[in-house]
A and B are shown apart, each in its own frame.
Chain A
Amino acid sequence: MSEIIKPGQGLLYMKVGTHARESLDDIIERKTREIEEAGFAFWGYGGSTCHPQTMVQPFARDYERRGSKIYLCMQPMVSTHFAEPLRADEFSVDGIDWQEIPDSINVLGSRYALAITDLRKEEFELPLESTKVALGNSMGAPGSKYISGRVDKACLEVAEPDASAPEKSVHIGLVADIVKPYAVYVRNRRR
């Protein structure tokens, strides 16, 4: 079992696949190159379940204060995502002060992005029934109930195994470390 699956560990779970018309393999190759060149990469995403400012940043800071970190755990899946591959050219930690995204980093077709390093293929089963939502409006809900329908990503904390809960594992195939500034807003201003 992966080192990540231990009670108290924080992780950001998301399903991944084709994004903005780019295949997952191509994305992994591009992001790995960006990490080599810039020291980190921005991993684009959308939706409000992992809002940069109200969810991911406080979640990650909490673990940092405890001398730990959170991991991005991704479940590869076959998907289509036809969002326009528009490149974001600015990012912001707080939605107020904006900075240019370095030319070596490309975030396409997303509103938010996670700051990641050490992107790696790592295969293990994540027992969602032994996780709970770490913060926000669904705080405390079991991951196995929370991840359903349109909810495909979450800030989760690994809990003690619950033998009474129906098993609902997902296969993780890709992992990264989430690093400062953890998560940001991105936008494209150039016309």
Chain B
Amino acid sequence: MAEPKEIDLRLAINAISDVVQNRPRPLREFDQIYMKTGDMVLQSELVARWADGKRLAFVGDGDAISICVAYLHKRGIIDYGPSEIVVYDFDERICSAVTRFADREQLGTLRSELYNCLDAFPGPTNFDCFYTNPPWGASNEGESVKVFVQRGMEATGYSGEGMVVIADDLELQWPKQVLANVQTYAVSSGFYIQKMMPRLHSYHLDDAPNLRSCNLIFKSLSSTERTVKSSAISDPGRLANFYGRENPPRVKYVRERKRLDYGKAHEDEYAFDLLEAT
């Protein structure tokens, strides 16, 4: 991991502010819950350092940590970062936000691909590492987390590292169960737990404003990339409570309604009362 350097905090926060301004609004029914901005600054610096010089796949990225990482590096606010970042997300608004920002800021290392994690992973499978902040699996004992982690592992050919961001709480029982199940899954998939950074991040989450998430960092036991035979996930048992109790996935892609006034106040939000002519 690269050595951290002194960072101009004002520049970093303002850069993250640029990214936040570009994000689509979250859809709660798909567990799109955004990380708070201060935590995004710290998380982006950490991810950039962790994946320095590596090829990094994001399996879903509503938070836009991928953009933050690439942008902080490009602006020279940090002098380390991944050599390539690909965001896989089923929400076309998120993919377009990545593409739009990368195009505007000339972030040549960053791109996105529309992809639903229930489909077979499209490849390539030679990424060095993956990052995911999936639906946290309160109602399915972490099964939804395991689906996203599986795709991340496939992206690395089961021979890399992964950073998984999931709920972490000292009092609630379900996050403990999910953490245990996800760690068991990682071990059974040929990975070991390299690091756990507890209760780091807060969210714009009005039904659990104090709930935090941790970073769980996996590393594969094998350094040899293996051939991945990725396949679609259709087992009803894995999907029944994917987005909460009795809420299986029903949407393949969230499509973006294209508009010319992206990022501006929408015309249907306001009207003008004109000044009287003098």
Contact = CB atoms under 8 A, between A and B. Distances in A.
Given A48-B28, A54-B28, A54-B29, A135 B244 contact: yes
A51 B28 contact: yes
Contacts of A140: 172-174
Contact of A149 (B29, B171, B209): B209
A39 interface: no
Contact of A58 (B136, B171, B245): B245
Interface string A100-141: 000000000000000000000000000000000001111111
Given A136-B138, A137-B138, A139-B172, A48 B207 contact: yes
Given A53-B244, A95-B29, A138-B207, 7 more contacts: A53-B247, A55-B207, A58-B244, A94-B250, A136-B139, A136-B244, A138-B208
Contacts of B245: 54, 58-59, 62, 135
Interface string B243-267: 1111100100000000000000000
A70 to B, nearest CB: 14
Nearest to A154: B207
Interface residues of B, number: 23
Contacts, number: 69
A184 to B, nearest CB: 13
A61 interface: yes
A18 interface: no
Interface in A125-183: 135-141, 149-151
B247 A58 contact: yes
Interface of A: 47-49, 51, 53-55, 57-59, 61-62, 94-96, 135-141, 149-151, 191
B64 interface: no
Interface string B171-191: 111100000000000000000
A49 B246 contact: no
Interface in B136-174: 136, 138-139, 167, 171-174
A137 B139 CA distance: 8
B244 A55 contact: yes
A12 to B, nearest CB: 13
19 contacts: A51-B28, A53-B29, A53-B247, A54-B243, A135-B138, A137-B136, A137-B138, A137-B167, A138-B207, A138-B211, A139-B138, A139-B139, A139-B172, A139-B174, A140-B173, A150-B206, A151-B206, A151-B209, A191-B268
A48 B211 CA distance: 14
A55 to B, nearest CB: 7
B207 A137 contact: yes
